[in-house]
Structure 1
Amino acid sequence: MEVIKYRIEGLIAFKPRIFTDDRGYFFESFNEKIMREHIGDFNFVQDNQSSSHKNVLRGLHFQKPPYDQGKLVRVISGEVLDVAVDIRKNSPTYGQYEKVLLTGENNVMFWIPPGFAHGFLSLKDDSIFSYKCTNFYNKESEDAIIWNDPEIGIDWEVEYPLVSEKDDEAKTLKEFESPFIL
């Protein structure tokens, strides 16, 4: 499994070796030993899956401590542009983001640790997005940064995404007081 580290500390992609033949394909979609070598200690407690039509944008979501979550995300089928924004106080990359293309063909898995806002844009109809979480969902702890915050400046590569009312009314980074410490 190839490990890809990004300029923002903590963000890691895992690209599996895919073995194909005339019967189909096989790849290792999770390896605890490799993940622990690069992520450290974790315990996945909840798996989530969503399906999105083309141009649906979800995010930028996170859960505040003590219910903060690390997420290992991947696309089962379809294609998404996945984005993680650093919202850790005192981080030299606070407010900066990384974008990763996740597809049902490349099978790349993207690790987003606690302290990041997360969102994605579906680039194809019926994209199936899967994520493993290190903490249970807690409604009172959920929060979001607005997807089109000019201070963050994410190029989502689409002019008019389909966004939920809740996501469209999220706060800006300037309005946000981060509970996350680097």
Structure 2
Amino acid sequence: MATAAPTRGAARVLRCGAVGLCTGLLAVLAHATGGGHVPSLPHVLVFALAMAWTCVPLADRQLGFVDLLGLVGVVQVAAHVFLGVLSRHPREVLPSPSMLLTHLVATAIVVAALAGFEQAVFRLAAALAAVLPRPLCPRPAFAPLRIPIAAHPPQPLSEVLRRRTLPRRGPPNS
């Protein structure tokens, strides 16, 4: 069976987009439901895209429940602070009990949905890899071949200075 690769290419972009959009949009919805300021749509989209972009380094492997819980928790805190600062009301930066509860509920919903989405994507990739034909030749290399070259032995500073100030003398070339 071939190895699944939803950690590269379009599948990785799809996973990052799903994590960013779900997390960002539900964080804004939780903030608004908890009595916070509702920002304009461009602010919401910029925030959701920023969350998707920050997920790119994490999408090189399958995200487990603990990974998703940490990621979504950090995003919920960032969303709350971002929306509190955006509203220009300092009292909204510290969450009220209802705001805290809605953010916790949103975190639970997003983590459950994304954990299921991750499993589905990786199972689908494994199923497709099992039935699709495999290439007969290896993929072309994209990086240059690295060949180790022996370095010159380090010379003491006194030797370098002597060679520069007192060059070798010899007979002139004819």
TM-score bucket of the superposed structures, by smaller chain: under 0.3
Of structures 1 and 2, the larger Rg is shown by 2
The normalised TM-score by structure 1 is 0.21
Higher strand share: 1
Higher helix share: 2
